[in-house]
A and B are shown apart, each in its own frame.
Chain A
């Protein structure tokens, strides 16, 4: 007859060890919750707001704003953004495969980087609907029919009996969705693209047949946001991306790229060889989320390529940012 503790051990429901299917992806998603949007603690936001008010910076910005146009809202950031090259580069370019310096570099700024457009659109984005409605609709588009679970009011999922799953997560700034095929054959790439289009999320994406990261394009603007897919034998087994609607689009005057780079690297002057315009997600002090135009600079130092980014909007339209 079994001893009490042998019997207890035999009934261990986790006798077969748990292993997460994608540790690297799990780690990357968790880390990206910090880099996806730049948001400071509430206490710090309050302190920064007080400092801004006390120093009259807001007044100066408003004067400049009135000169630019009566309907252009000030982009009020919660706190100064990090000025180090590495941190800024990570905010804008989380893509795999880019070699980035691990510490601020010391290089001289030389020459102008060429003209930039004088205006660029900024997009205020919102959640695409109530969470349960979104996950239900998304599950329908992706062919996942099952039961809905909800945790903490921010992560919703629907799972089919075959293990196919849709997750909708609103826990950190920009909402995200994820699809996993489970033991089902999975969608084709074309079916996934169609499902995304069916959501009317105001963005489009072209997924490569072999999977990978595809840039999210909003109103013709190529953003730093990505839809990431894992494709096996022509079928999508895992996909994730942002979920949002565009609530407003406002044209902002842009600063010069040379000035933006100089401001970004005031501690560590940098020589950039090229730049491009991209759109990254930022959470402002009023908790609204915007896709704002950013300069993405590229250069090479000691044989190592690097990238860095800085907000492209003219500083007169911005408060509470150090970039």
Chain B
């Protein structure tokens, strides 16, 4: 019993550590690259604790969902700490995640001006390579609904990108 669990964990880590690491790295700010391994480890530790809940037909989106929560918790903790330290230090304007990760100003601005849910589904598909079915499982919606949301997000991103180029 224990061996089967450990074998499954080892297989899952081998299959998805790169996808999870990349997912986290793309959204790391305000954390640093040095935090990445810890976040990956935290994600798979939770996967290990909840291994019986891991759906065999949707492993990646389920694990990405765990990584998403781990990252949000870590970012909240960092922001709380930064806010506390900011009370005794000169404040600076905080760059958004997209400011940090996207160097192309048009891409950065287009991403920044997207709605949060549009941006999330767009990047899951374009950067993380999640298929429509996986996106649907992650958000617990139907594949049709996921396709509509993605199409809408892509359209809005393209419009915003092109507008910036016309300025």
Contact residues of A with B, CB < 8 Å?
1, 4-5, 7-14, 17-21, 23, 26-27, 29-31, 33-34, 86-87, 90, 102, 147, 149-153, 155, 157, 159, 163, 165, 167, 171
Q: Are A163 and B34 in contact (CB under 8 A)?
A: yes
Closest to A90 in B: B2
B13 & A31 in contact (Cβ 8 Å cutoff): no
- Whether B106 contacts A7 by the Cβ 8 Å rule is yes
Chain B: minimal CB distance from A90 (Å): 7
By a CB distance below 8 angstroms, the chain B residues around A23 are 13-14, 17
Contact status B13-A18, CB under 8 Å: no
Pick the 10 closest A-B CB pairs, nearest first: A18-B21, A14-B22, A4-B161, A159-B34, A13-B101, A11-B102, A4-B158, A14-B25, A151-B74, A11-B107
Q: B32's contact among A29, A102, A159, by CB below 8 Å, is which?
A: A159
What chain A residues lie within 8 Å of B37 (beta carbons)?
Answer: 20-21
B104 close to A11 (CB less than 8 A): yes
Using C-beta atoms within 8 Å of the partner chain, give the interface range for chain B. 35 or more
List the B residue with the shortest CB-CB distance to A102: B3
Cα distance A29–B103 in the bound complex, in angstroms: 37
Chain B residues, Cβ within 8 Å of A4: 107, 110, 157-158, 161-162
B35 interface contact, C-beta 8 A:
yes
Of B39-47, B56-64, B130-138, B140-148, the stretch lying at the interface with chain A is B39-47
B50 within 8 A of A: no
- B34 close to A11 (CB less than 8 A): no
Give complex CA distance A8, B127 in Å. Answer: 8
Report the bound CA distance from A165 to B33 in whole Å. Answer: 12
Query: What's the minimum C-beta distance from A60 to chain B, rounded to whole angstroms?
Result: 32
> How many angstroms from the CA of A147 to the CA of B32 in the assembled complex?
10
Smallest Cβ distance from A98 to chain B, in angstroms?
15
Q: Please list 20 pairs of residues, one from A and one from B, whose beta carbons are closer than 8 Å in the complex, sorted by A's number.
A: A4-B157, A4-B162, A5-B154, A10-B107, A13-B102, A18-B18, A19-B17, A19-B21, A20-B21, A21-B37, A26-B17, A27-B6, A30-B44, A31-B48, A33-B48, A86-B2, A147-B32, A149-B34, A150-B81, A155-B42
User: Which residue of B is nearest A159, CB measured?
Assistant: B34
Q: Complex: how many Å from CA A197 to CA B11?
A: 38
Report B-chain residues with C-beta under 8 Å of the C-beta of A5: 126, 154, 158
Q: Are A27 and B13 in contact (CB under 8 A)?
A: yes
Q: Is there contact, CB below 8 Å, between A27 and B10? A: yes
How far apart are the CA atoms of A205 and B99 in the complex, in Å? 48
A149 lies within 8 A of B73 (CB): no
Question: Please, which residues of chain A bring their CB within 8 A of the CB of B167?
Answer: none
A residues in contact with B126, CB < 8 Å = 5, 8-9
B124 within 8 A of A: no
Quick one: given A90-B2, A151-B74, are A13 and B13 in contact (CB under 8 Å)? no
15 extra A-B contacts, CB within 8 A, seeds A18-B25, A31-B9, A152-B74: A4-B162, A7-B104, A8-B161, A11-B104, A12-B127, A18-B17, A18-B40, A23-B14, A23-B17, A26-B13, A31-B48, A151-B38, A151-B73, A155-B42, A165-B34
